[in-house]
Amino acid sequence: MANPLRAEVVRLYKNLLYLGREYPKGGDYFRDRLRAAFNKNKEVQDPEKIKEMITRGEYVARELEALYYLRKYRAMKKRYYEE
């Protein structure tokens, strides 16, 4: 893997690992799935393919953040408003 892309991949991995701590099925489940996904693609050498996978990983990170914000919003709404 090219050095500049390696730094991006490591940053993405750490970010996803951090976000996975609050995953609904548990942090261990998320960490195992994350590790498997990264190990599956560790042999990829094409920079364009790596950039494409980084973009997909960033999309997953944004979706996780949206999931967490929605969960927090629902909890606050439940506390303050009757349904």
Determine contact, residues 61/15, Cβ cutoff 8 Å: yes
CA distance 43 to 28: 24
Tell me the percentage of the chain whose pLDDT exceeds 90. Answer: 57
| Structure tokens given for 16 | 């996803």
> Residue 15 — very low, low, confident or very high, per pLDDT cuts 50/70/90?
very high
CA dihedral 28, 4, 44, 51 (to 10 degrees): 80
> Residue 81 — very low, low, confident or very high, per pLDDT cuts 50/70/90?
confident
Write the pLDDT tens digit of every residue in 16-56. 999 998 888 888 999 999 999 999 998 998 899 999 999 99
Would you list the domain boundaries of the chain? 5-81
> Residue 1 — very low, low, confident or very high, per pLDDT cuts 50/70/90?
very low
